[in-house]
Amino acid sequence: MNVHWLNGYRPGYGLPRDFYINAEIFAEEQERIFRNNWFFAGHSIELPKSGDYMTLTVGAAPVVVVRDRDGKVHAHHNVCRHRGSIICTKEKGKATRLVCPYHSWSYAHDGQLIGAPMMGEDFDKAEHGLKRVHAEEFDGLIFVNLSDTPSPFHELRDHLSPILKSQGMNRAKIALIRDYELDLNWKLVVENNRECYHCEANHHGYVSVQYDTENDNPDLTDEISERLADCAIRWEKAGLDTARVNTSSDYTAEWFRANRTPVRKGMVTESPDGQLVCDVLMAGFLDPDMGTARANTNINFWCHANSDYAHTVRITPVSPTKTIVRGYWLVDQNAVEGRDYDPEKVAAFHDEVMSEDWEICRRQWIGITSPGFQPGPYSPLKEQNVDRYVRWYARQMGA
Ligand code: FES
Ligand SMILES: [Fe+2]
């Protein structure tokens, strides 16, 4: 990689303009970032049965994720070993075998080539299975990794699972999926997600429910201590992990974090008025005051899970200047639409937060792509996590 790009980066500051618009840097990211990190692919409940598959794009690579007859999830490059056609053409489907639409080579769920008509006697099917992509599934989440030697997944699972397993995302159903197509670089979305410096000025709904802006409001200190003490008792009773109960969003590891945080006094969930938006609680919770389980991972995932619904996000970079953000909203599998919940009401809170964020990012995009842009310093009090993310990114890119 042309090092002068990284030479323009100063730790503690934002990235230079080229990192957001340059096609060569985007191509380099495919190799250094998207080939080497765990990418959130989607939810286990999207593939409930044998043969259910979903397709996605990881950087430049089309990938198919499929569940086999034993319930195991496999991921493969969605690229035929004959002449390279993509095999599964739909975003979701069901297939007893994966059949290439070009010349009908067919593959088992585990990627083995099982049918290749008219290839002659010397042709060795065993040599032409689908190229493997590493896949891991835990607590209702599926992650994939394109690397031949991926970083150990258990680090992530061991850390997130104590917080997320009690949310029951593997016994949930999808209330709503919404795709947001943004004409800007994917890193602006991640960077925006990693700080709440902007919340007080831009997310009035969000800060009326969460305590993220506690530093701006010293008069909340007593209330927060009270809530933390009360919730610690409730959550212990509910069998939740209470080791990481706090209102801070400090990172506990290099490329992921998780915690559980109380919502404001008198409120029980992230909704416009802080009251339940689904009458059936997730995971068999009896007490609705379970706060919000939050997690995020580099490179493309975050989650806010409440007692009545969970919201997760998958970021897919399409080009230097185009990004698709998918929002998922999950409710318990026994909740009935129309009786227990209205999908639009379940989505309302985070849909509003995201719409506000996209407007922030859009305005930033105009400035960042202009010749007048010069990266400024991060706040040491409010932007530690975005600074940390950008430093991580620079290291991945070879700084
Ligand atoms: S390209 Fe797939 S069968 Fe020919
Ligand atoms: Fe935001």
Provide CATH 2.102.10.10 ranges for the chain: 38-150
What value does the mean pLDDT of the chain take?
94
- CATH for 168-396? 3.90.380.10
pLDDT score, position 213: 79
Q: Is pLDDT at 338 greater than 60 in this prediction? A: yes
DSSP string, 19-44: HHH-HHHHHHHIIIIITTS-EEEEEG
Percent of the chain with pLDDT strictly greater than 70? 97
**Residue that the structure tokens 């409730």 belong to:** 234
Residue whose CB lies within 8 A of the most ligand 1 atoms, among 79, 98, 100, for a mutation test: 100
Q: Is pLDDT at 2 greater than 80 in this prediction? A: no
Cα-to-centroid distance, 134 and ligand 1 (Å): 23
CA dihedral 352, 356, 361, 364 (to 10 degrees): 180
Give pTM, 2 decimals. 0.96
CB of 101 within 6 A of ligand 1: the answer is no
DSSP string, 158-220: HHHHHHHGGG-GGGEEEEEEEEEEESS-HHHHHHHHT--TTHHHH-HHHHTT--TTGGG-GGG
Section 16-23 average pLDDT: 95
CB of 89 within 6 A of ligand 1: the answer is no
**Chain segment 275-285, per-residue pLDDT in tens:** 999 999 999 99
Q: Is pLDDT at 113 greater than 90 in this prediction? A: yes
Give the number of whichever ligand sits closest to the CA of residue 79.
1
Any bridge partners for residue 259, and if so which? 294
Specify the length of the chain in residues. 399
Compute CA distances 182 → 26, 187, 221, 295, 355, whole Å: 16, 12, 37, 23, 11
Q: Is pLDDT at 48 greater than 90 in this prediction? A: yes
Q: How far is CA 178 from the centre of its chain?
A: 14
Residue whose CB lies within 8 A of the most ligand 1 atoms, among 64, 85, 106, for a mutation test: 85
Residue nearest to atom 3 of ligand 1 (CA): 103
116 pLDDT tier (thresholds 50, 70, 90)? very high
Cα-to-centroid distance, 201 and ligand 1 (Å): 54
pLDDT score, position 3: 53
Provide CATH 3.90.380.10 ranges for the chain: 168-396
pLDDT score, position 20: 96
249 pLDDT tier (thresholds 50, 70, 90)? low
Residue nearest to atom 1 of ligand 1 (CA): 83
CATH fold group of domain 38-150: Rieske Iron-sulfur Protein (2.102.10)
253 pLDDT tier (thresholds 50, 70, 90)? confident
Higher pLDDT residue, 250 or 205? 205
Report DSSP state, residue 371: T
Ligand 1: atom nearest CA of 100 is 2
Handedness of CA 335, 340, 343, 349 (dihedral sign): negative
**Chain segment 287-312, per-residue pLDDT in tens:** 999 999 999 999 999 999 999 999 99
At residue 247, φ and ψ (nearest 5 deg) are -105, 5
Section 179-202 average pLDDT: 96
State the Cα–Cα distance between residues 146 and 133, nearest whole angstrom: 5
pLDDT score, position 218: 81
